[in-house]
Amino acid sequence: MKLLKQLCEIHAPAGSEYKMAEFLLAYIDENKAKWKNQPQIISGEGFQDNIMLVFGKPATAIFAHMDSIGYTAGYKNNLIKIGGPGAKKGTKLVGTDSNGEIECELEVTEDEHQFLTYSAKYDREVDRGTTFTYKPDFREDDEFIQCCYMDDRLGMWNAIKVAETLENGVVVFSSWEEHGGGSVGYLARYLYEELGVKQALISDITWVTEGVQHNKGVAVSMRDSGIPRRLYLNRIIELAKESKVPYQLEVESAGGSDGNSLQRSPYPFDWCFIGAPEDFVHTPDEKVHKNDITAMVDLYKYLMKHL
């Protein structure tokens, strides 16, 4: 899990994905010779911080977002949320401003209207616009892996593991997912118009809930705040059954992903969210069962061969 640990430690909140993109491009350049097939790497001008790996004659794209939740420093160390962080008072945060690296604590106060205010407890005022993320604390035992930003560093890790043996397909590393999206529309345009790809799998991490539990397999989401097209969803469920990989069906009313952005794009994309469930969502302690991680990789490999 060395690579996953490295991914969890990279400071890349929504809007600052460039550090993750730099790491990925260097990692791919160093390791791609060991992969079964060599991808065409699409990045740079016109793609902002996003990356595509194109293998063979692709029919399906895997989307994994590079960004995380976090905070932006406003005035007098006030913190403005990036996405939906769920940390408690006292959580350790890290960032860097013009004076160097910063490690501080999250302060949370409630006013008379029960509104929460977030601030950084630090011995000086930090530069406005400084971004903060949770201080990583990677933990692993026989059953679980636990750290901040398993959402979606684990989704990225899954996509890389699939890429190692992928013959036909596209792996897409996208931006801004945690803060409303914004890159998927033009990535969809390229996939559809230039590569003829119109179906996708969303490699992201979902929640442990009443109906989705640890060690029950990877979750195939039938719906969240978005609803995938039923014929495509039925095909995926049929293939999941054929694969013999442990999986569980998720049905939720909330939550969203790059799939929602694909559905809102002007291109006729089919999509389905498939990911391991985690506990302690959007906190420094996101927790995933190792068997569910294995099931996620195995199901993605099967689907990319048969869809």
- For the chain, give every domain's residue range: 2-68+139-306, 70-134
Per-residue confidence (pLDDT) for residue 265, from 0 to 100: 96
Say whether domain 2-68+139-306 belongs to CATH 3.40.630.10.
yes
Per-residue confidence (pLDDT) for residue 236, from 0 to 100: 98
> What is the token pair recorded at 209?
């809930």
**Burial (CB count <10 Å: 0-12, 13-18, 19+), residue 168:** middle
Per-residue confidence (pLDDT) for residue 293, from 0 to 100: 98
Read off the pTM: 0.97
Name the β-bridge partners of 253. Answer: none
Identify whether the C-beta of residue 195 lies closer than 8 Å to the C-beta of residue 56: no
Per-residue confidence (pLDDT) for residue 50, from 0 to 100: 98
In the chain (307 residues long), the average pLDDT of successive 10-residue segments reads 97 98 98 98 97 98 98 96 95 97 95 84 97 98 98 98 98 97 96 98 97 98 96 98 98 94 96 98 98 98 98
For every residue of 229-254, DSSP letters joined together read -HHHHHHHHHHHHHHT--EEEEE-SS
Name the β-bridge partners of 288. Answer: 145, 278
List the one residue out of 135, 68, 73 whose CA is nearest residue 98.
Answer: 73
Per-residue confidence (pLDDT) for residue 115, from 0 to 100: 82
List the one residue out of 116, 51, 37 whose CA is nearest residue 84.
Answer: 116
Q: Please tell me the distance from the alpha carbon of residue 288 to that of residue 178, in angstroms, as a whole number.
A: 19
Q: Please tell me the distance from the alpha carbon of residue 211 to that of residue 94, in angstroms, as a whole number.
A: 35
Q: Please tell me the distance from the alpha carbon of residue 298 to that of residue 245, in angstroms, as a whole number.
A: 7
CATH architecture of 70-134: Beta Barrel (2.40)
> What is the token pair recorded at 218?
């990877």
Q: Please tell me the distance from the alpha carbon of residue 220 to that of residue 184, in angstroms, as a whole number.
A: 21
Q: What is the DSSP letter of 13?
A: B
Residue 5, CA distances (Å) to 2, 136, 138, 225 in order: 5, 9, 6, 30
Both ends of the chain: CA-CA distance in Å?
28
Per-residue confidence (pLDDT) for residue 110, from 0 to 100: 83
Q: Please tell me the distance from the alpha carbon of residue 44 to that of residue 19, in angstroms, as a whole number.
A: 13
